[in-house]
Amino acid sequence: MKLLSSVLLEIHYVTSIHLFVSRVFGWGSASRDHAGWIFQELMPGEPLAEAFEAMPLGWKKVILEQMALFLKALQDYPLPESIRDLGGANFDGSDAVVSGPMIGVGAGPWDSLKKFCRDCLKAALAKAEDNPYVPGWKDDGVRKRIDTFMEKGPPVLFSAVPTKQEKSIIHGDSVPENLLYDPATCRITALLDYDFARILHPAYEFFLSFGSSGGDREAEGLRTSKLTGRFPSPLPTRVAPQNGTGIEWEVAQAWEEALQKMDVKRPSDIPGTEILANIDQLSDALLPWRLANEDFLNVNRDENQRMALRSLEEETLKGLLGHLEF
């Protein structure tokens, strides 16, 4: 968070809006006897998420351009020399910001993107071993294909990623739910929730922050548009699936235009992004959230539906392995 504040010290809106990362005045690490704590600045503004949903497209574009400006700052900020690796950030004995383990993965730092992806795949597969619906994917020869990919896939794939040495600060959850704004000016006043912040290849901001809640086919269409920078014409009509809100294609296209206007590196601008997206998608497929997330499972208790989802997730996993030629 301290590193993010340093980045945003260099941002000045033409409207003179103040920084929207709260200052941290003190903190304490968690231990067996004590909970961790952070003492930080209370930020002004109102929650954006519900208001954003009801905004006309023109106002949404105003918000999206501010979000794009934030991403631009993260991408362009020169990391301290003490940040040598991918992963999280920590402080050394002299209070310098240094590379550290990544929250949520429980490992790191990594001196290469290939090692990071390998460990993420291994972690997902290890959790899948204990999942009652996909116990290690040992049925129907799927596990053998996974093991073959784990052994042979990364060296081949990463040789075709010319940008694999790039790294930048990733917020990892830059969505309206984590933004405050001023309704009178439609200006962002705060960016919240740094649980997923990390140092990674710049493409990962788009994998982590800007996913889709549409149906599988619709989500695949949006993924293609993001990777190529080209959207269908006319834009598809928004259709809400059974478990989700559907894709707002006009907003997705407006986001792409905001990124381009602010000269942000988009997935379509970063060579090798499709390969990284495929590996990230494979990591998600190894441990499908619809079969692992307790909140989702508590809402969807029908065992027949769960088994139907299991079949769909297996087909998705097989399709990804096939696409990667394994």
pLDDT value of residue 28: 87
pLDDT value of residue 13: 40
317 within domain boundaries: yes
- The residues near 92 (Cβ < 8 Å, ≥ 6 apart) are 82, 98
33 within domain boundaries: no
113 within domain boundaries: yes
Domain extent, residue 288, equals 2-28+39-323
**Is the bond preceding 44 in cis, omega lying within 30 degrees of 0?**
no
* CA 94 to each of CA 37, 98, 108, 250: distance values in angstroms, whole numbers, following the listed order: 21, 10, 21, 49
DSSP category for residue 37? E
- The pLDDT tens digits of the residues spanning 241-283 come to 655 567 899 999 999 999 999 999 999 999 999 999 999 999 9
- The pLDDT tens digits of the residues spanning 205-232 come to 999 877 654 446 778 889 999 999 999 9
- The residues near 203 (Cβ < 8 Å, ≥ 6 apart) are 163, 267, 270, 272, 273, 276, 277
- The pLDDT tens digits of the residues spanning 129-178 come to 999 999 999 988 999 999 999 999 998 999 999 999 999 999 999 899 99
Task: Write the CATH number for 123.
Answer: 3.90.1200.10
State how many domains the chain has: 1
34 within domain boundaries: no
Angstrom distance (rounded) from CA 319 to CA 309: 15
262 within domain boundaries: yes
